[in-house]
Chain A
Amino acid sequence: VHRVRNVPRRLSVGDRLFEKTFPPITRTTLALYAGASGDTNQIHLDADVARRAGFPDVFAQGMLVMAYLGSALTDAIEPHALRKFSARFKAITQLGAVLTCTGEIAEILRSEGETRARVTVGARDENGEVKLAGEAVVTIADVEQAP
């Protein structure tokens, strides 16, 4: 049976679970992410393609922003403690954006025999514009039951 360690303990509604700021997004970031992720949509790589589609320039893959959010989340909680992770893409992320990812405890609940925390998560740029908003559900049961 898989053992879960380092999951959060003694969480309360309203607690800040994480806040992490990432380096500015560059064209190189987008190219590396495209190769790493298999998402080779040219709208994120080729400014000519982006302009033809009506955008001023290339912009970040939505899943790159969600990957940053996931990275911030798994700095705070053990990956296997994650039960659900969802996000809505609210705005395009431009080149140069400095993203900050945050998570706050919204609810403590019992579900499927576990104590879980519902975490409100999001990513915003340096101007405070929300790029991504969603939630994560994490189990906190194993720690609470540990001696």
Chain B
Amino acid sequence: MGELDVSAGLASEIGRVFTAITAVVDAGRLRVFTKAIGDDNPLFTSVDAAVKAGYSNITIPPTYLFCLQFLAADDPFEFIHVLGIEADRILHAEQSFSYYAPVAVGDRLTFEPVLTHVEEKKGGALTFLTVTTRISDPNGHQVADSALVVAVRNR
């Protein structure tokens, strides 16, 4: 694919479904995360505190859904590779989450990412891609969704 064709090619990929990922929330891995960011909130570290607050187990920080998906994926950058984009040309531009139900240690979640939007900006110098991920429990109930927007620097 020629470099000038990248954006036009990407627009035709809207609706593309990437590999679904299943992850189980693990207390030890979560502790590595809370230590890395220096978060000692007992709701993220203590079963007793979390249960007293009404959770089934230790709950997760608001951005940890993103990590669960990355940690469990065989290729966390699958969408970039599938779309033929070089990794050093992308920057994370925006991230959003909507939360519908609490998530706790031991929960099993399925992540279903889809390319939902492609938009050129700055006269074609940048292409913005949105990958929206539905996050659901084993009964199929949606617990959250996330949207990742990356900016691709076109040359």
- Counting from the closest, the 7 A-B pairs by CB-CB distance are A38-B70, A86-B96, A38-B71, A3-B54, A70-B62, A32-B36, A53-B88
Contact A39 B36 (CB under 8 A): no
Most buried by B among A4, A6, A67, A75: A67
Check A89/B94 contact, CB under 8 A, given A2-B102, A63-B63, A74-B41.
yes
Tell yes or no: B82 within 8 A of A by CB.
no
Contact A67 B37 (CB under 8 A): yes
Check A71/B66 contact, CB under 8 A, given A2-B54, A5-B53, A86-B97.
no
Tell yes or no: A62 within 8 A of B by CB.
yes
Contact B70 A37 (CB under 8 A): yes
| B53-87 CB contacts (< 8 Å) to partner A | 53-55, 59-63, 66-67, 69-73, 76-77, 87
Check A88/B43 contact, CB under 8 A, given A41-B87, A66-B63, A67-B63.
no
Tell yes or no: B19 within 8 A of A by CB.
no
Tell yes or no: A97 within 8 A of B by CB.
no
Q: Of all chain B residues, which has the CB nearest A70?
A: B62
Secondary structure at the B interface, as helix, strand, loop or mixed, is mixed
Contact A70 B36 (CB under 8 A): no
Contact A80 B95 (CB under 8 A): no
**Of A2, A79, A134, the contact of B61 (CB 8 Å cutoff):** A79
Nearest CB in chain A: distance from B1 CB, A = 21
Contact B59 A79 (CB under 8 A): yes
**1/0 per residue B120-132: CB within 8 Å of A?**
0000000000000
Tell yes or no: B39 within 8 A of A by CB.
yes
**Of A36, A63, A87, A89, the contact of B91 (CB 8 Å cutoff):** A89
Residues of chain A contacted by B87 (CB below 8 angstroms)? 41, 43
CA A25 – CA B60 in complex, angstroms? 23
Nearest CB in chain A: distance from B76 CB, A = 6
CA A43 – CA B92 in complex, angstroms? 12
| A1-17 CB contacts (< 8 Å) to partner B | 2-6
Residues of chain A contacted by B61 (CB below 8 angstroms)? 67, 70-71, 74, 79
